[in-house]
Chain A
Amino acid sequence: MRKGIATSLVVVSAMLLGTAANAEGLDELPAELAAAYEGVDEGQPIKASAYREWTPRSEPPWKIGYASSYAGNTWRAEGLKRLTQELFPVYKDAGLVEDIVVTQSDLNDARQIQQMRQLVDQGVDAIIVCCSNPVALNKAVEYAYSKGVVVFSYSGYLTSEKALNASSNYTLGGYEIAKAMIEEVGGKGNFLLVSGIAGAASSESFDTGAKRALEEFPDAKLVGQVWGNWTDQVAQTEVQKFLATNPTKIDGIIAQGSQETGVLKAVLQSGRDVMPISLAGSAGAACYLKNNPDWISHAFQIWPPGDEMELGFNSVIRTLQNQGPKVQSILRGVYRVPSEEYVSGLSADCSVDSTEYIQPGIDVWFPDDKAAGYFLRPSDPLEWKAASN
Chain B
Amino acid sequence: MLSNRLSHLWVPLGLVLILGIMAAVRAPQTFTYVGLAGALLVAAPLILAAVAITPIAIAGRGGVDLSIGPLIGFVNVTIVVWLSENGITHPILVFAYAILAACAWQMLLAAFIIFVRISPIIASLAGFMILQGVNLVILSRPGGVAPEWLGNWGWGTELLSPVLYILLAAFAIWFLFQRTAMFQHIRLMGADERTAYTSGVDIIKARFAAHLMAGVFAGLAALCLTGLIGSGDPTQGNTLTLQAITALVLGGTSLAGGKGGITGSVLGAVAMYLVFVVLSSFNFGAISGFMTQLLYGLMLVFALLVALVTTAPRTRAA
Binding site for B on A (CB under 8 A): 43, 68, 70-72, 76-77, 80-81, 84-85, 99-104, 106-111, 113-115, 117-119, 121-122, 133-136, 138-139, 142-143, 197-201, 203-204
CB of B27 within 8 Å of the partner chain:
yes
Do the beta carbons of B276 and A115 come within 8 Å of each other? yes
Q: Name the one of B142, B277, B288 contacting A104, with C-beta atoms under 8 angstroms.
A: B288
B290 contacts the other chain (Cβ, under 8 Å)?
yes
- Comparing B167-175, B202-210, B230-238, the segment that makes contact with chain A is B230-238
Question: Judging by beta carbons under 8 Å apart, are A122 and B38 in contact?
Answer: no
What residue of chain A has the Cβ atom nearest to residue B288's Cβ?
A102
Q: Verify B136–A117 contact, CB threshold 8 A.
A: no
User: What size tier do the contact residues of chain B reach?
Assistant: 35 or more
Q: Which residues of B contact A80 (CB under 8 A)?
A: 286, 288-289
Q: Which of A84, A108, A138, A139 has the most CB of B within 10 A?
A: A139
Query: B284 touching A102 by the CB < 8 A rule?
Result: yes
Q: Which residue of B lies closest to A76 (CB)?
A: B289
Contacting residues of chain B (26-47) with chain A, CB-CB under 8 angstroms: 27, 29-30, 35, 38-39, 42-43, 45-46
Annotate B274-309 by CB proximity to A: 1 below 8 A, 0 otherwise.
001100110111101110110000000000000000
Q: Enumerate chain B residues within 8 angstroms of A99, measured Cβ to Cβ.
A: 283
CB distance B273 to A204 under 8 Å?
no
Are B27's CB and A121's CB within 8 A? yes
**Given A104-B293, A107-B239, A136-B142: A71 and B283 interface contact (C-beta under 8 Å):** no
- Asked whether any CB of chain A lies closer than 8 Å to the CB of B223, the reply is no
Stretch touching chain A among B101-109, B152-160, B255-263: B152-160
B195 within 8 A of A: no
* Cβ B276 vs Cβ A111 within 8 A: yes
Given A106-B292, A110-B43, 16 new contacts (CB under 8 A): A71-B288, A84-B285, A85-B286, A109-B233, A110-B45, A113-B42, A115-B276, A117-B38, A118-B29, A119-B280, A133-B142, A133-B236, A134-B142, A136-B236, A143-B157, A198-B235
Cα distance, A106 to B290, chains bound together (Å) = 10
Smallest CB separation, B283 vs chain A (Å): 5
In the complex, what residues of B have CB within 8 A of residue A134's CB?
Answer: 142-143, 231
User: Given A110-B45, A113-B228, is A204 in contact with B276 using a C-beta cutoff of 8 Å?
Assistant: no
In Å, the complex CA distance between A115 and B288 comes to 13
Residues 82-113 of chain B, each 1 if its beta carbon lies under 8 Å from chain A, else 0: 00000000000000000000000000000000
**A199 contact from B157, B235, B292, Cβ within 8 A:** B235
Closest CB in chain B relative to A169 CB, distance in Å: 16
Chain A residue nearest in CB terms to B151? A139
Task: Enumerate chain B interface residues (CB-CB to A < 8 A).
Answer: 27, 29-30, 35, 38-39, 42-43, 45-46, 136, 139-145, 151, 154-157, 225, 228-231, 233-236, 239, 243, 273, 276-277, 280-281, 283-286, 288-290, 292-293
7 contacts between A and B (CB under 8 A): A43-B143, A71-B288, A80-B289, A100-B285, A102-B285, A115-B276, A136-B236
Contact in complex: A121, B286 (CB < 8 Å): no
Whether A106 contacts B293 by the Cβ 8 Å rule is yes
Least CB separation from A121: chain B residue: B29
B28: nearest chain-A partner, CB-CB: A121
Q: Which 6 A-B pairs have the closest CB atoms?
A: A71-B289, A135-B231, A136-B229, A139-B154, A133-B142, A121-B29
CA gap between A228 and B155 in the complex, in Å: 35
Chain A contacts for B145, CB-based, 8 A: 135
B142: A residues at CB distance < 8 A: 133-136, 199-201
Instruction: Indicate the member of B145, B151, B154, B277 with the most A CB atoms within 10 Å.
Output: B154
CB proximity of B80 to chain A, nearest CB, Å: 9
Q: CB distance B141 to A204 under 8 Å?
A: yes
Q: Across the interface, name the chain B residue whose C-beta is closest to A67.
A: B280
| CB proximity of B147 to chain A, nearest CB, Å | 13
Q: Which residues of A contact B27 (CB under 8 A)?
A: 118, 121-122
B288–A114 touching, CB < 8 Å: no
Residue of B nearest to A120 (CB): B29
Closest chain B residue to A146, Cβ basis: B157
Query: Which residues of chain A have C-beta atoms less than 8 A from B45's C-beta?
Result: 110
**Chain A residues, CB < 8 A from B136:** 198-199
Query: Within the assembled complex, what's the spacing in Å between the Cα atoms of A244 and B156?
Result: 50
Given contacts A71-B288, A204-B140, contact A109 B230 (CB under 8 A): no
On chain B, the residues within 8 Å of A102 by CB distance are: 283-286, 288
Q: In the complex, A187 Cα to B308 Cα: how many Å? A: 63
Question: Could you tell me the distance between the alpha carbons of A81 and B288 in the complex, rounded to whole angstroms?
Answer: 11
A351 to B115, CA, bound (A): 56
Contact between chains at A114 and B38 (CB < 8 Å) = yes
- Asked if A114 and B286 make an inter-chain contact with CB atoms under 8 angstroms apart, the answer reads no
CA distance A281 to B293 in the complex (A): 28
Contacts A114-B39, A121-B27, A136-B236 given; does A104 touch B292 at CB 8 Å: yes
Bound CA–CA A72/B154 (angstroms) = 28
Contacting pair B290 A199 (CB below 8 A):
no
Q: Are A135 and B289 in contact (CB under 8 A)?
A: no
Residues of A within 8 A of B276 (CB): 111, 114-115
A106 to B279, CA, bound (A): 13
Q: Decide: A198 and B140 in contact? CB cutoff 8 A.
A: yes
Q: Which residues of A contact B235 (CB under 8 A)?
A: 107, 197-200
Chain B CB within 10 A, most for which of A68, A114, A198:
A114
Q: Are the CB atoms of B289 and A143 closer together than 8 Å? A: no
Taking CB atoms, residues of chain B closer than 8 Å to A70 are 289
With a CB–CB cut-off of 8 A, which chain B residues contact A201? Answer: 141-143
Which A residues touch B38, using CB under 8 A? 114, 117, 143
Min CB gap A306→B, angstroms:
13
Q: Determine the chain B residues whose CB is within 8 A of the CB of A139 once the complex forms.
A: 151, 154-156, 230
> With A and B bound together, what is the CA distance between A70 and B293 in angstroms?
11
The residues of B that contact A200 with a CB separation of less than 8 Å are 141-142, 235
**Given the contacts A71-B288, A103-B288, A121-B27, A199 and B229 also touching, CB distance less than 8 Å:** no
Residue of A nearest to B231 (CB): A135
Q: How far is the CA of A203 from the CA of B289 in the complex (A)?
A: 22
Cβ-closest chain A residue relative to B29: A121
Known contacts A198-B140, A204-B141; A110/B283 CB under 8 A: no
Shortest distance from the beta carbon of A193 to any chain B beta carbon, whole Å: 14
| Complex CA–CA separation, A76 to B43 (angstroms) | 27
B287 to chain A, nearest CB (A): 9
Q: What is the CB-to-nearest-CB distance from B60 to chain A, in angstroms, rounded to a whole number?
A: 30
Q: Which B residues touch A104, using CB under 8 A? A: 288-289, 292-293
